[in-house]
Chains A and B, each alone.
Chain A
């Protein structure tokens, strides 16, 4: 016991789990998330899918310049049609086969060949090239929409969460109302109005996406508000208050960075759903209109001709595959990010 009393004033050194080697690489929380993200195979697959689509859509048209988006293959095409007539004379059956040869201006519904990698559609446009341009539209439009949704959601959700009280009440009730609105019927109405007012086919999709933004921000706003409400209870926010930091510092230096991770997950997941929305709109002929290309309009071709659905798979299947890849890719990335941010939730 004597010895210990002597040693009572042990130097206040602290040995702990942090290595003493000062040169050890240190890792910020962000970098740890990135590491965990890349550890998952699924998220890498998602990343490859999305990056591949980007390269395909944005660099593709620069490299593959054989055909343009609205350039018809006017090399001509001969169409043969066979008609058969059967009639009976005196119990005997006669069949007359008649072959008509028709020379047409456009080379439509061409099968995949050297000239047209995926063939041409019913008008004579090159499908491969139109896939790239369609991808451009889909990606740009959905990125703009998601970006706007996030900005609106963060601002309104942040205000609601941080200040609370009456403002919170107003914003949240507004969210409730917007969530109640039936999306597609109103889209139909807006689309009709746009048709009537004769807006350029190229821009109408952007206007429609702005409407989508307007009805979609409540989801993000609710997420941000919930996050901020729970972060506000954290003691480090109380500590920031006790430190006498200004309101803007508390919001932008302490709250927003901690909401970011969940936001990024939400963004990547809603990118997928926005692409689907865009495709649906175009398919219903409400979005991008011919002659401009979009994945949705390219699938819509099947509605013009039963024959294409059965016999010309090269016309509409590639667009479908592109949509699936884009949506899956963004969802994989979103899931991967969520797991990386919260490794415990997986189990």
Chain B
């Protein structure tokens, strides 16, 4: 009964909703275990994700995009805010209660080498989750796994092989197959192609796209590579030092970037065309340490358009129409 009530409260269209999510890591503890200093990895992030969509999260290293993904999966405990998955608030579920939900949300990692257990066969890796979660009757497990392998572009005789025999691209396919073996609804792709060569990247991206259509998946696609994110996403969120600075549909963000950081990020990508000599915005300085972020707007130390107010007041994260949100004082002027 209680659950039904909660469901009414939330947007039923969204498969995943994140409200003011916050995650801190203690970096200094006193002798008694009291936290003295914290690293705010994810700060006040909110967004909604509809079923079947792909949300791309872009940002540089240390911006908290990986932590965001893992916190949504509850691999890290959050320190505030809400995670609402399929109309159910999962923020405070116990790990035993999470077990049922785990099969609906899965993750694909960046490093295809450390994400497969070295001592199991491909068949073992893929059938274990199927058996644990009773996805199909025991007698059909092997057929189910072979079918899945076929979908992911793996040959049937790989079933009895070990991960060390495969190259990065193949291993990533195995990882994808493992994530999909439990029929998830939401898949968090944490830089799935960053460790791969360009020609293999294209294969994996196409595979992910194909599988999304076939299995009606929702992706949260985390990457530092804007061109990849642009290719695969419907919506894009740009993160900087733990907070979301801009969020909107792909079209909106690319046609009309609101935040100066988004603009700079776009212009920083080298274009594979020697004739394109773009007017590049080169950001000054380094990314500040997330353990000691600057006051006010976190981007003001590098922002080419910084004003006095930026170093004092944190800009409000607002909707500028059509779900295109951003946090910048420049936008508040008019």
Contact between chain A and chain B defined by CB under 8 Å: yes
Contact surface of A with B, Cβ cutoff 8 Å: 12-14, 16-18, 22, 26-30, 234-236, 238-246, 249, 253-254, 257-258
- Interface status of B266 (Cβ within 8 A of chain A): no
Task: Verify A243–B182 contact, CB threshold 8 A.
Answer: yes
- Interface residue B157 (Cβ < 8 Å from any Cβ of A): yes
State whether the Cβ of B28 lies closer than 8 Å to any Cβ in chain A: no
Q: How many angstroms between the C-alpha atoms of A14 and B174 in the bound complex?
A: 13
Are A244 and B117 in contact, with the CB atoms below 8 A? no
Contacts of A246 in B (CB 8 A): 99
Is A258 within 8 A of B119, CB to CB? yes
CA–CA, A239 to B182, complex, Å? 13
Interface residues, chain B, with chain A CB atoms under 8 Å away? 70, 73, 75, 98-103, 105-107, 109-111, 114-119, 121, 128-129, 132-133, 153-155, 157-158, 160-162, 164-167, 169-170, 173, 175, 178, 182, 203, 206-207, 210
What's the Cα separation between A177 and B166 when bound, in Å? 46
Of the candidates A14, A29, A234, the one having the most CB atoms from chain B within 10 angstroms of its own CB is A14
A18 to B56, CA, bound (A): 33
Q: Which residues of B contact A253 (CB under 8 A)?
A: 128
CB of A14 within 8 A of CB of B117, answer no
B160–A26 CB distance below 8 A: yes
Q: Are A16 and B170 in contact (CB under 8 A)?
A: yes
Q: Which residues of A contact B116 (CB under 8 A)?
A: 236
Question: Which residues on A sit within 8 Å (CB–CB) of B132?
Answer: 243-245, 249
Contact for A244 among B99, B114, B160, CB less than 8 A: B99
CB-based contact B165/A236 at 8 Å: no
Given A14-B155, A243-B129: A258 touches B166 (CB 8 Å cut-off): no
- Residues of chain B with a CB closer than 8 A to A28's CB: 119, 121, 162
How far apart are A240's CB and chain B's nearest CB, in angstroms?
A: 8
Contact B75 A238 (CB under 8 A): yes
B153 near A18 (CB under 8 angstroms)? no
Question: What residue of chain B has the Cβ atom nearest to residue A21's Cβ?
Answer: B157
A303 to chain B, nearest CB (A): 51
Contacts of A30 in B (CB 8 A): 119
B155 touches A235 (CB 8 A): no
Q: Kindly report which residue of chain A lies nearest to residue B210, judged by CB atoms.
A: A12
Given the complex, which residues of A lie within 8 Å of B75, measured CB to CB?
238, 241-242
Measured CB to CB, the closest approach of chain A to B113, in angstroms, equals 9
Cα–Cα, bound, A206→B158 (Å): 50
